[in-house]
Amino acid sequence: MSYDDPKFTAYALNELDANECAEIERAILVQPQANAEIAETREMAGILRETLKTETAPALCEHHRDAVFRAASIAGKAANLPLENVVVTGQPAWWQRAGFWQLATACLVFAFGVYAIGVSLGGSGLKGDGVVQVRDVQKVQIGNLAANDDARIEADPSLKVPMVSTREGTPSVATDFNATNTIQPGVVSVPNDLVDKLQPIATKGPHVVDPNDPLASFKARADIGKKSPVKAIAPLAISPHEQVVLRADNGEVKLTGDEANRYFSVREYLDVRWREASSLHEGSTYAELSRIFRHESYADGIHRFVMIRCPSIKVGVSFVSKENKEPEWPLPADTKIRTISQPYFEPEFGN
Amino acid sequence: MTPPPATDIRGLLDRYERPLVRYAQSIVGDLESARDVVQDAFIRYARIISGEVGGDDAMQPARTTNEAEAVSEVALDPSDTRHVEAWLFTVTRNRALDHVRKYSRIIPMPMPEERMSEEPGPDEELASSDAADWLLKLLDALTPNQREVIRLKFQNDLSYKEISDITGLTVTNVGFLLHVGLKKLRTLLREAPLDAIPIRLRTAL
């Protein structure tokens, strides 16, 4: 056996059993240089252990941990299994934090009813501390719904329901939202394929997006106004066997848990993308921009930059032109940004 | 340090979130995506130990069209704390690879060769006096799977067998990659001008 055999490395790293160690030790006797190799391997291993462990190891953010605790809590209770140290308290969800409901309340024009009806888990109910009790409650009424022309659907602040997705790991079907694995109290948006179902029960109106805080306005209210289809927002948490019923005076639409969960868009995901977009500034290069945004040009000469990972987020950009003429796309990688707008949010569901 | 019980989600988070985020980041590249990946792994874990979903399903190999890349399924065994650690690494890895596959279709990642040609290699970075930074740059000269097994072995103190379970590589292959990777690192160290090597690393020559 040559001392260049991987077994010598395994020996140096204490990965061999007694028989294999004996074999290596016999080989060392006839290959003295093997000892030096083993010593060098151990030295290198020691340095790697020491230095690699100093590499930054970031923690999860609070909202990630909250999501885990919520999932653990709801799953544990569903199975009647008390998970240790799983207490969902303290950190309020985004829609429970100060400021959010002042905005929401101001926008609230009518009440909205959502019923979460447990089926095979024996029902769903709510208790304090943000923990969903999934036993012994048959129905939860979140509110009442009566619509008028400028009505908006609002999340109910009294509801504390963690979201449980049956599709974690699988992106949302909505092309503009990617609910990748992030399970958070959030919003349910109703995309085009459900609009037909929902239109008969809702009035219509313009969708309002605050350009200064599109994410906040998006999550805080969904208009069911005159022009756009229904966009319902509610802090729904649907276990796989539950059902959500959106109700109005003249009809209702039932969504199964699985179906409803596909339409959760996730604030945290958007926040991440938002921060990513906001990292660009005047003086950033076209290459830096292109890592985050895709250039799109249209026949009428309009150019747009659409966020690659969240096409609903866009920015307006002008560039420093060396020759003071219309640029040719794609621009040279080192072209500097002259001005860049605040990223704005343009929901793509609905018409 | 004694690993936390399998049902102690908070303890498991405290113990493993940082190593897992660091590991995921080494695969997906950006921190926020790495956090999403790790969060998902923990949620999956919580739901499995509560019996809400099956463990076999959770250990589905990284989805890929290339059958040869698929790793074998391993069910979660909560009674074995070492296994819980390996399971978390495995699911994190699979989810991270999913993420990379998904986004690499949109944002082409440079091939290692291209990146090496564009970025300063170890020889050009000898001025760095920080051993850790210097060593991390050396690691860039290795192949991705050599880097990965070295990280799992020396950064996370996992055994060949555990690395094999996590990566789907055979134990022999793990040993080979570590052997070649370590040898290459030593060669790179030898080839670098002595006065440019951080003092701490000179002892390995």
Q: What residues contact B200, with CB distance under 8 A and at least 6 apart?
A: A47, A51, B131
Element of type H or E holding A294: strand A293-297
Which one has a higher pLDDT value, A267 or A298?
A298
Query: Same domain for B144 and B71?
Result: no
Mean pLDDT of A106-125: 27
Query: Same domain for B14 and B85?
Result: yes
Indicate the residue among B62, B85, B109 that finishes a domain: B109
Query: Same domain for B91 and B26?
Result: yes
Note whether A64 contacts B39, CB cutoff 8 Å.
Answer: yes
pLDDT, tens digit, for every residue of A224-266?
A: 322 223 333 333 333 334 344 443 333 445 555 444 444 333 3
pLDDT, tens digit, for every residue of A30-61?
A: 887 888 888 888 888 888 888 888 887 888 88
pLDDT, tens digit, for every residue of B106-146?
A: 333 222 232 233 334 444 444 334 667 777 788 888 888 89
- C-alpha distances in angstroms, B44 versus A84, A149, A165, B50? 16, 43, 11, 10
- Eight-state DSSP code of residue B125: G
pLDDT, tens digit, for every residue of B77-103?
A: 777 777 888 889 999 998 888 877 766
Q: What is the mean pLDDT of chain A?
A: 53
Query: What is the model's pLDDT at position B152?
Result: 93
Query: What is the model's pLDDT at position B40?
Result: 87
Query: Same domain for B98 and B131?
Result: no
Mutate which: B18, B39, B142, vs A, most A CBs within 10 A: B39
Indicate the residue among B93, B109, B125 that finishes a domain: B109
Among candidates B76, B98, B39, which has minimal Cα distance to A165?
B39
Query: What is the model's pLDDT at position B160?
Result: 93
Mean pLDDT of A118-140: 26
Task: Band the pLDDT of A10: cuts 50, 70, 90.
Answer: very high
3-class SS shares of chain B: helix, strand, coil, % to 5 = 65, 0, 30
Indicate the residue among B109, B126, B147 that finishes a domain: B109
Q: Is the peptide bond before A211 cis (omega within 30 degrees of 0)?
A: no
User: For the domain that residue B50 is a member of, what is the CATH number?
Assistant: 1.10.1740
Q: What is the mean pLDDT of chain B?
A: 72
Query: Same domain for B64 and B7?
Result: yes
Mean pLDDT of A266-283: 61
Query: Same domain for B100 and B151?
Result: no
pLDDT of A345 over the 80 cut:
no
Query: Same domain for B164 and B101?
Result: no
Looking at the structure of chain B, the number of domains it has is 2
Query: Same domain for B196 and B144?
Result: yes
Q: Among partner residues B13, B40, B201, which is closest to A169 by beta-carbon distance?
A: B40
Q: Among partner residues A59, A82, A183, which is closest to B21 by beta-carbon distance?
A: A59
pLDDT of A154 over the 60 cut:
no
Poorest-pLDDT segment among A126-140, B74-88, B184-198: A126-140
Note whether B35 contacts A64, CB cutoff 8 Å.
Answer: yes
pLDDT, tens digit, for every residue of A60-106?
A: 887 778 778 777 766 555 444 444 333 332 233 333 333 333 333 33
Mutate which: A64, A276, A294, vs B, most B CBs within 10 A: A64
The residue of chain B nearest to residue A241, with distances taken between CA atoms, is B52
Query: Same domain for B38 and B79?
Result: yes
Helices (H) and strands (E) in chain A, counts: 10, 16
Query: Same domain for B50 and B62?
Result: yes
Q: At what angle are helices A62-78 and B31-49 packed, to 10 degrees?
A: 20
Which one has a higher pLDDT value, A257 or A283?
A283
Query: Same domain for B80 and B64?
Result: yes
A72 at interface of B, judged by CB pairs closer than 8 A: yes
Query: Same domain for B136 and B203?
Result: yes
The residue range of the domain holding B173 is 110-205
